[in-house]
Amino acid sequence: MSSTGPARPDLSRREMECPSCGKKSFLVELTAEDIQRVRPPTVGMVCEGCREKYRSAARLEIRYSTQTALRDLALVVLVGVSLLLLVLDALSTRLAVSVGPSNVSFFVTAATSLTGLRMMYSELRGRYGFTHSLSWSLHSRYAILSIAILVSGILAAAVSPFIIR
């Protein structure tokens, strides 16, 4: 027996469960430099696959171009406003006697706008919270869709008093 005590097992060469994905593999250290941050990450050891996922997410590569995002935003807003006005017209003719067209218009456009706001919050909360880069956070199809739904509800509310009578 040596004077330093019993030999400790080398934990770096044992197969362990990855805390990120749950797979059993050899773990490597995830450093602050890997994820381009000042502070070290909360997860210290991960498998090679997860380490590469964290590193690629830290690079903030945009795969959804601005031109495509603006095109999709314009198309979805146009279709959204058209559909909302169609629904408002159909509902106001059916429910005009009992409820009134302005109440139907307010309810439908408010529900649409609040749905878009909620979708936008749930999408951007995770993306912006992870990166703190708003320009990167807005480059996702779901973020553009939620912004388009919000804008469609607002535009339909502004236009509906002139169209629905």
Q: Given a cut of 70, is residue 13 above it in pLDDT?
A: no
Q: Given a cut of 90, is residue 149 above it in pLDDT?
A: yes
The mean pLDDT of 32-36, rounded to a whole number, is 74
User: Is residue 2 a part of any domain in this protein?
Assistant: no
pLDDT at 74: 96
User: Is residue 3 a part of any domain in this protein?
Assistant: no
The mean pLDDT of 18-45, rounded to a whole number, is 79
Q: Given a cut of 50, is residue 104 above it in pLDDT?
A: yes
- For the purposes of burial, counting CB atoms within 10 Å of the CB of 73, is it exposed (0-12), middle (13-18) or buried (19 or more)? middle
pLDDT at 60: 65
User: Is residue 5 a part of any domain in this protein?
Assistant: no
Cβ contacts of 145 within 8 Å, gap of 6 or more: 72, 76, 119
Residues 48 and 122 grouped into a single domain: no
The mean pLDDT of 90-109, rounded to a whole number, is 76
Structural domain count, the chain: 2
Residues 23 and 43 grouped into a single domain: yes
Between 89 and 38, name the one with better pLDDT.
89
pLDDT at 117: 95
d(CA 42, CA 163): 55
Q: Given a cut of 70, is residue 125 above it in pLDDT?
A: yes
Q: Which of 40-54, 62-76, 108-122 has the lowest average pLDDT?
A: 40-54
Per the structure, the complete domain to which residue 43 belongs is given by 12-58
pLDDT at 4: 54
The answer to whether the beta carbons of residues 152 and 81 sit under 8 Å apart is yes
Q: Which residues pair with 46 in a beta bridge?
A: 28
Q: Given a cut of 60, is residue 7 above it in pLDDT?
A: no
Q: Given a cut of 70, is residue 99 above it in pLDDT?
A: no
Q: Given a cut of 90, is residue 33 above it in pLDDT?
A: no
Average pLDDT, the chain: 81
The mean pLDDT of 118-138, rounded to a whole number, is 81
User: Is residue 40 a part of any domain in this protein?
Assistant: yes
User: DSSP string of 104-153?
Assistant: HHHHHHHHHHHHHHHHHHHHHHHHHHHH--HHHHT-SHHHHHHHHHHHHH
